[in-house]
Amino acid sequence: NFLTPAEQILKGKAVVITAGPTREAIDPVRYISNHSSGKMGFAIAEAAAKLGADVTLVAGPVNLATPNGVMRHDVESAVDMHAMVMSLAEHTDVFIACAAVADYRVAEQSDHKLKKSGDDSLTISLIQNPDIVASVAQLESNRPFVVGFAAETQNIEQYAIDKMNRKKLDMICANDVSISGQGFNSDQNALKVFYAGGSKDLPLNTKSELGDELMQIISTLLPSN
């Protein structure tokens, strides 16, 4: 049976991918979130599974079907996503952080629905969420190959490389979210990929094609056993 080089490397490898937004509760009926659709992460999961990897999606609230052969854990908040990812990390060969994790959560969630009070304004205090991809990259034993995304609107290359270095990632995929019709909530995207010793431009394409291209690049960067 003939296997391509990417298939030979990825066959049986445990690939964990976060996808979609997170949802941070304010009270039992309200939350803070963002417009991430989860499509990029699901496309990468599909591409990795096609190459024979053992793929697990950790998905925030999204409206997408699970790709064939992919294991899926649904989570809501960043704290839940962090806990799920860390429970899988020790047995992960490749971790790809595609989720648009909310940077902050509500400091004090109300256990009852908030009522309007006499005031014209309401102040909600937020506290920073754990950085999931940085936590995985900091692991000292069984550290996977770690891939992050960077959503930027300016100085794309500089900010992305800074992010990769700061979080100690092996690779980062930069995403210009200032251009409409690509990235957030779109079927298409364009990426600039940076890693130790190189970079690749992936021009505007369907997220499905980009998923295939990314998994090809990742396969060339993995230790070959």
Active site members: 34
**Is 114 in contact with 30 (CB distance < 8 Å)?**
yes
H or E element in which residue 72 lies: strand 71-74
Can you read off the two tokens belonging to residue 168? 């100690």
Stretch that binds Ca ion, among 60-68, 96-104, 131-139, 166-174 (CB under 5 A): 96-104
Of 133, 171, 193, 217, the residue at the interface with ligand CTP (CB under 6 A) is 133
- Cα 130 to Cα 218: distance, rounded to the nearest angstrom: 25
* Residue 168 annotated as lining a ligand binding site: no
Using the rule CB under 5 A, is 103 a contact of Ca ion?
yes
H or E element in which residue 127 lies: strand 126-128
Using the rule CB under 5 A, is 162 a contact of Ca ion?
no
Binders of ligand CTP in range 8-47 (CB under 6 A): 18
Residue (of 180, 185, 186, 178) closest to 152 by Cα position? 178
* Residue 11 annotated as lining a ligand binding site: no
- Cα 207 to Cα 187: distance, rounded to the nearest angstrom: 6
> How many beta carbons lie within 10 A of that of residue 34, not counting itself?
17
Angle separating helix axes 207-221 and 39-50, nearest 10 degrees: 60
Stretch that binds Ca ion, among 66-74, 99-107, 133-141, 206-214 (CB under 5 A): 99-107
- Cα 94 to Cα 47: distance, rounded to the nearest angstrom: 14
Nearest-approach distance from CB 148 to ligand CTP, in angstroms: 3
Of 151, 214, 215, 218, the residue at the interface with ligand CTP (CB under 6 A) is 151
Size of the site for ligand CTP (CB under 6 A): 15
Nearest-approach distance from CB 210 to Ca ion, in angstroms: 21
* Residue 163 annotated as lining a ligand binding site: yes
* Residue 50 annotated as lining a ligand binding site: no
Binders of ligand CTP in range 89-108 (CB under 6 A): 97, 99, 101, 103
- Picked from ligand CTP, Ca ion, none, the partner binding residue 99 (CB below 5 to 8 A depending on kind) is ligand CTP
Write out the residues near Ca ion by the rule CB under 5 A.
Answer: 103
